Amino acid sequence: MNGKIGMKALSAFLAVMLVGVVMAMAMAMPIVPAASTEEQTRTNPLFQNLHNFQR
């Protein structure tokens, strides 16, 4: 019985640590503003031919 309680405590501790690591990584990520539609089409290689055609 004592071993099961220890395993539950270990599992709970690891779950809390995992959530903490994920939260820390999310907070450390830089916030990049969204690019305008014109900038997205200009820099996206899939739209290069379309952009050159419109000139």
Q: How far apart are CA 5 and CA 29, in angstroms?
A: 37
Residue type present at position 5: I
pLDDT confidence tier of residue 50, bands split at 50, 70 and 90? low
> Over the stretch 13-48, which tens digit does the pLDDT of each residue have?
999 999 999 999 988 877 777 767 777 667 777 666
Question: pTM, whole model, 2 decimals?
Answer: 0.48
Give one DSSP letter per residue of the chain, joined into a string: -HHHHHHHHHHHHHHHHHHHHHHHHHHHS---PPPPHHHHHHH-GGGHHHHHHH-
pLDDT confidence tier of residue 55, bands split at 50, 70 and 90? low
pLDDT at residue 10, as a whole number: 94
